[in-house]
Structure 1
Amino acid sequence: MPKIEEAVPKYLQIAHHIRDQILRGDLRPGDEVPSERQLAADWNVSRPTAARSLQALSHQGLVEKRQGSGTYVRGLDVNRRARELYGRARQTGKIYSPGEYAVITSAGWLEAPDHVAEALNLRRGSRAAHRRRVTNNQSGPITLSTSWFAPDVGERAPRLLDPERIQEGTLMYVETLTGRQGSYAEDRMCARLATDEEAAVLRLTERSAVLIVHHVVYDMQDHPLEFAEATYPPNRWAFEQGYPLT
């Protein structure tokens, strides 16, 4: 049963919980979200608090209320970030939502670029295990990303070097094979013009802007476990956590 935390307003906690379900793909466009009555019972809050949570989701453009019917998830073009992918993998054992799939375009050992070596605490020129993928949905390619792992991880988790898909996701697979649990992650984001390769893979016009995310997962001992670099096309939302200003 969900728990209420006093540090964040109750209605925002409920809204964030439903928003995360939408971003993970647990709730798909057209799905009905719980009613005010159901939310009030599940979260042990008043009906006005439950109603305010649905209103917050509506203001964010995530849901729409249909008169006499209920509240439903809107059709969204969303850049699904690692946080949402990991959450889905841990809950369902599958990293992608229905209609999404990845094609592994490259896997194996490569010399780690300097920024990758720095993120993984490797010496310059060290080799690292990599997996490069293009994530697609019914409209075509939506993300280009490469995951990198230190040599000891690549040796203990050999499927990282195989271009076959890992259904549960690379992080959960690595955790199982190495015994190292992901504890927290840090994301750094910037926008820039797409390279020729990125534009070709993501089917973008020349000089398109893209969102670049550098993502580092740390284990329970604060050691880097995975570095990933993802390229997202324009005109798709990337959602951040909401927060109170008081």
Structure 2
Amino acid sequence: MTEIDCVPPHNVLPKYLQISAQLRDLIERGELAPGAEVPSERELAARWKVARPTAAKALNTLRQEGLVRSRQGSGTYVTDRPTTLMRENAPRYGSPVAEDDEVAVLEAAVVAAPPEVAEALGSPCARAVMRKELSAGSAGSRTLMTSWYPGEFAESASRLLAVERLAGGALRYLESVTGRGAAVVRERVGARLATAGECRQLALPAPAVVLVVHRLCLDADGRVLEFCAVVRPCGQWIFQHEYPASSAADFHR
């Protein structure tokens, strides 16, 4: 197993993010190849002199990124995944839907989280709050957004279950009622064929290609606030980031 240099970088990142960043670097440099076993919670806790919950957060961060996957009773292993572009930062992150768009909340309920969502939320087999919204812009463009929240928010942030638009977006609402704001946002952008339901809701002919953004929002303690999938037709959306060259190290391929 690859040895890990446990001298923490000189920054203010929480320890679990320092650990996950170093493991991520080993994976992306190929020192931890696809299929390789990564250090266990116990090993990471001992090497970094942290509590096991902190080590568990570090591994869960990599799971949420799709870099590693756990096998019950065996360990945690590097996944074989396509190259993605990801940035971690601490923006004032709002809704991906413009304020002047028309928004219809199609569904808001507490449901059993699908495996991918449960893994992103860090709670296998958990129940989650799900909101599905369809928005329409002034130029006729449509956006379908399905958002998932930890089940605990069904009580502490009950308006997530209301079939009405949340002014300023769900994240600002969550911050107002829980005091937990988004500290880290991770996004993945891809394209695929639309499902039959997406073609119907987005008024697309079948088959049609759609752009998909998976967005994961964490608070300062690394706890998940929101996991959502935003779906829009290709050709109606330009994904654009502007950032100073000094922040280029924040990007991982």
Secondary structure of the 1:103 match is strand
User: 1:190·1:211 contact (CA, 8 Å) conserved in 2?
Assistant: yes
Would you say the 8 A contact 1:111–1:128 is kept in 2? Answer: yes
What one-letter code is carried by the residue in structure 2 that aligns with 1:181? G
Task: Report the Cα offset of residue 242 of structure 1.
Answer: 5.4
Tell me which amino acid in the other structure corresponds to 2:185. Answer: A
Between the two proteins, the alignment pairs up a number of residues equal to: 157
Distance in 1 between the 2:93 and 2:149 partners? 20
Structure 1 counterpart of 2:98, which letter?
Y
The 3-state SS of whatever aligns with 2:183 is strand
Residue 213 of structure 2 corresponds to which residue in structure 1?
Answer: 213
Aligned to 2:145: 145
Could you say what the CA RMSD is over the residues aligned between the two structures, in angstroms? 2.5
- Structure 1 residue ranges (4+ consecutive) displaced by more than 4 angstroms after TM superposition: 85-89, 242-246
The structural deviation recorded for 1:139 is 3.5
Query: Quick one: which amino acid aligns to residue 212 of structure 2?
Result: I
In the TM superposition, what is the alpha-carbon distance from 1:192 to its structure 2 partner? Answer: 0.5
Distance 1:122 1:195 in 2: 26
Query: Hey, what does 2:122 align to over in structure 1?
Result: 121
In the TM superposition, residue 168 of structure 1 has moved relative to its aligned partner by 2.1
Contact 2:191 2:209 in 1 (8 A): yes
Hey, what does 1:102 align to over in structure 2? Answer: 103
Q: Could you tell me the TM-score, scaled by structure 2's length?
A: 0.57
Alpha-carbon distance between aligned partners in 1 of 2:159 and 2:136, rounded to the nearest angstrom: 21
Q: Does 1:155 align with 2:146?
A: no
Q: Which runs of 5+ in 2 are unaligned?
A: 1-88, 249-253
Describe the superposition over 1:37-79 as per-residue Cα deviations: whole angstroms up to 9, x where unpaired. Answer: xxxxxxxxxxxxxxxxxxxxxxxxxxxxxxxxxxxxxxxxxxx
Decide whether the 8 Å contact of 1:88 with 1:96 is kept in 2. no
- Report 1:1-246 matches (<5 A): 87=93, 96-98=98-100, 100-124=101-125, 126-236=126-236, 237-241=238-242, 244=245
The answer for unaligned runs of 5 or more in structure 1 is 1-82
Once the 2 structures are TM-superposed, how far is the Cα of residue 96 of structure 1 from its aligned partner? 2.7
TM-aligned CA deviation for residue 133 of structure 1: 0.1
Deviations, residues 167-219 of structure 1 (Å, cap 9, x unaligned): 12111111111111110100011110111111111111111111111100000
> What letter corresponds to residue 227 of structure 1 in structure 2?
F
Partner Cα separation in structure 2 for residue 200 and residue 226 of structure 1 = 26
Q: What is the CA distance between 1:87 and its match in structure 2?
A: 4.7
